[in-house]
A and B are shown apart, each in its own frame.
Chain A
Amino acid sequence: MSFRFDSVPAVRERLGEVDYLSDEGIAGIVYLADRLGKPILVEGPAGTGKTQLAKSVAEILGARLIRLQCYEGLDESKALYEWNYKKQLLRIQAERNSEDWKDLSDDIFSDEFLLTRPLLEAITATDPVVLLIDEVDRVEVETEALLLEILSDYQVSIPELGTITATQVPLVFLTSNNTRELSEALKRRCLFLHIDYPDMEREKQIVLTKVEGIDENLADQVARIVRSIRTLELKKAPSVSETIDWARTLVLLGIQTIDAEVATDTLNILLKYQTDISKAAKELATNAPDAPAKA
């Protein structure tokens, strides 16, 4: 089996080429996933680039991204495969008088009547694919079991057809917003990657690459203010995507430097709860509580 990546720095570099700034941890785990042939379970706060990671990896590999969006009530027929009942029915009616039953029954349970859903599609694909199972924490615990076979052995068992094994091991990403504890069985099969808010330097770089026409000075200020806001106790800390939105807004407004007034006026892009906004506005306008009085 050939590997997709040569080394950890190579992963990092190539991710950088498609404007995804990774860190040592992210690149290291993507590299390992390739080497070990294991899926990656990505967890972390909303808006830190979990889904984007899968997209970016697909992009650098030139692979097709197959996405399974999870939701409550997702079942086999939407995730794995389904028989095309209408077509089967037509087939039976068309052949009503001629062939004997055995041929027919063999025939209607063949590939031709199988509707592939994302998981099966990823397994049977012959071109390079990246499978993204998004927000896996949204499905019920029972449905999680659907994923286990595919995650550990890269195969799908269909009672009428037998077991379909992958011709190649696809890279698999699962993302989770951690709204519930995933089952041990699922976690055990995956490499675990926790993506947290980036440190200031990296966030600044992200803003610089993602926002057109921003100068370094402003990006620096943006990153520093966001870091400062994240230290507050908020309902929902600003995510990276919100930081980017904020930076874009500032650029569109033609702002060169951020002062307290500009910051409080545009906070509603960064924060989504009224209490958070008023709290942050108050904090930004005053000094840190332990600061001594100015001389």
Chain B
Amino acid sequence: MLDLLAGFIQELRRAGLPVSLTENLDAMEAVKHVPMEDREAFKYALAATLVKSSNHWKTFETVFEVFFSLRGREYHLGELDDETAKALDMLDELTNADGQLSPRGMGGMEGMTPEEIAEMLFKAMQNADSALMRAIARQAVSRFAGMEPGRPVGGTYYLYRTLRNLDLEGVVERMMEDARTQRGGELTQLEERLERDEFESRAEQLRKEVEAEIRRRLVADRGVEAMAKTLRKPLPEDVDFMHASREEMVNLRKALMPLTRKLAVRLARKRRHGRKGPLDFRNTVRHSLSYGGVPAEPKFKYPRPAKPEIFVVADISGSVAAFARFTLQLVYAISGQFSKVRSFVFIDGVDEVTRFFEGQEDINQAVHRVNTEADVVWVDGHSDYGHAFEAFWDKWGKDIGPRTTVILLGDARNNYHASQSWVVKEMRHKARHVYWLNPEPRSYWDTGDSIVSEYGVHTDGVYECRNLRQLERFVEILA
């Protein structure tokens, strides 16, 4: 048990969770108080002591499943929990009407045609019978996934194969149809939506069951350590903007909201806790009246540092679009901390997009409009930093003043066009600061057509900004 826990904690650390020694000891202490058989309680006991941030929960869950899935009650290979066993029996009865007994847990659906399975699935989903759903998931994996020991493919491949055969979308559609006929043909739009949500959450549940089943079998095949390694995923704040999958993007967007709130609070606090300024004579005299004219309570002038004016100039060509979007979102979400924010986007032409954000509370929508409406293509729609900067300087260069901070976003992959780096140099003369944020890893800079240091020498700093953590750190420098 101790070994298992030690391995588990090792793996958590490898996955990026900061687990300290005391937390480790706490976990050991905690599990003494919960029965190991109660998988849920056991899980929560570990989580409470080891996971100290909700962002890390998902990683924890994955690792937990890999390490303890073989040991939990309901997933025990030999003995099933009652409900699942009953459901499996039911399946057996249905399939083996001729009285032959198939070995339980394997091949219960062997004799069934795909139509029968689909029918079964439909029934299980319609009644939200989780035991039956779990049984079907298990059967479906052994039947459809085609898993072979030692085969070097990832779990997603098996998942895809199984789900393709189950056709969950079709089942959801069928349930919708069914619901419609039950209510006499038509559903109001609200009902339609609610029913769909309900069915989709059931489908999601089944998907999770299938995934867990596949994972369980893979662990049995390959061993805990290897499995944990393949499943290791970066934490949301460490996900690379440029290589995020769709699912990771959704998670990133979710992580962005609380982050901006945190940043805004922190920046506002920083501003308020400035040093005390010189004596405010007027105010002191005014307050001395309540002490009979004795200036007992000196008042000071608090310095109010000017809020910076921000110009964001972002490359939104394909390779770095996601990064630009995140930065724009972040900057606008905390725009209260700046006196003014103006934003410009470019590919080979440049356009001001401030108007999309003004009076628009929904930043996502504004970003969407930037992507669809901004006029950023000059010739061919391939990045041309040189021309874009030149055009920017001609049109808006005069607006840059001593209070302006200019942030340039992009990978500086210029497709071998002229760099026109004098624009950046000029900007720096007029502006308070010029920063460059590059979403590429530092080791890629100045390779191929990247000319980031050609621009970089004229700025106050070039920052590698590949993930939320780095972006957050930069914004704090800014305000």
Question: Which A residues fall within an 8 A CB radius of B?
Answer: 8, 24-25, 28-29, 31-32, 35-36, 38, 40-41, 43-44, 72, 140, 178-181, 184, 187-188, 190-194, 196, 200, 221, 224-225, 227-228, 231, 233, 235, 258-260, 263, 273-275, 279, 283-288, 291-292, 294
Asked if A275 and B48 make an inter-chain contact with CB atoms under 8 angstroms apart, the answer reads no
Interface residues of B in 247-274 (CB under 8 A from A): 253, 257-258, 261-262, 265-266, 269
Asked if B269 and A284 make an inter-chain contact with CB atoms under 8 angstroms apart, the answer reads no
Question: Cβ of B44 < 8 Å from any Cβ of A?
Answer: yes
- Sample (22) of A-B pairs whose CB atoms are under 8 Å apart: A8-B38, A28-B40, A29-B44, A36-B26, A36-B33, A179-B261, A187-B52, A188-B20, A190-B52, A192-B48, A192-B53, A224-B197, A228-B197, A233-B253, A258-B190, A263-B190, A275-B361, A284-B190, A285-B190, A287-B196, A288-B197, A291-B196
Asked if B361 and A228 make an inter-chain contact with CB atoms under 8 angstroms apart, the answer reads no
Question: Cβ of B194 < 8 Å from any Cβ of A?
Answer: yes
Q: Would A188 and B23 be within 8 Å (CB), given that A181-B262, A273-B361 are in contact?
A: yes
Asked if A275 and B362 make an inter-chain contact with CB atoms under 8 angstroms apart, the answer reads yes
- Chain B residues contacting A283 (CB-CB under 8 Å) are 193
Name the one of A24, A44, A181, A228 contacting B193, with C-beta atoms under 8 angstroms. A228
Asked if B361 and A274 make an inter-chain contact with CB atoms under 8 angstroms apart, the answer reads yes
Asked if B258 and A178 make an inter-chain contact with CB atoms under 8 angstroms apart, the answer reads yes
Question: Cβ of B102 < 8 Å from any Cβ of A?
Answer: no
- Chain B residues contacting A38 (CB-CB under 8 Å) are 26
- Chain B residues contacting A288 (CB-CB under 8 Å) are 193, 196-197
Min CB distance B191 to A, Å, is 8
- Chain B residues contacting A284 (CB-CB under 8 Å) are 189-190, 193
Query: How many A-B residue pairs lie within 8 Å, measured between CB atoms?
Result: 115
Q: Give the complex CA separation of A292 and B253 in angstroms.
A: 27
Min CB distance A195 to B, Å, is 10
Q: Would A194 and B198 be within 8 Å (CB), given that A32-B30, A275-B362, A284-B190 are in contact?
A: no
Q: Give the complex CA separation of A29 and B34 in angstroms.
A: 11
Question: Cβ of B113 < 8 Å from any Cβ of A?
Answer: no
Asked if A194 and B57 make an inter-chain contact with CB atoms under 8 angstroms apart, the answer reads yes
Asked if B197 and A231 make an inter-chain contact with CB atoms under 8 angstroms apart, the answer reads yes
Asked if A228 and B194 make an inter-chain contact with CB atoms under 8 angstroms apart, the answer reads yes
Asked if B193 and A287 make an inter-chain contact with CB atoms under 8 angstroms apart, the answer reads yes
Asked if B194 and A28 make an inter-chain contact with CB atoms under 8 angstroms apart, the answer reads no
- Chain B residues contacting A35 (CB-CB under 8 Å) are 30, 33
Interface residues of B in 44-61 (CB under 8 A from A): 44-45, 47-49, 51-54, 57
Min CB distance B202 to A, Å, is 11
Asked if B197 and A227 make an inter-chain contact with CB atoms under 8 angstroms apart, the answer reads yes
Q: Would A28 and B262 be within 8 Å (CB), given that A227-B197, A233-B253 are in contact?
A: no
Question: Cβ of B372 < 8 Å from any Cβ of A?
Answer: no
Asked if A260 and B189 make an inter-chain contact with CB atoms under 8 angstroms apart, the answer reads yes
- Chain A residues contacting B201 (CB-CB under 8 Å) are 200, 227
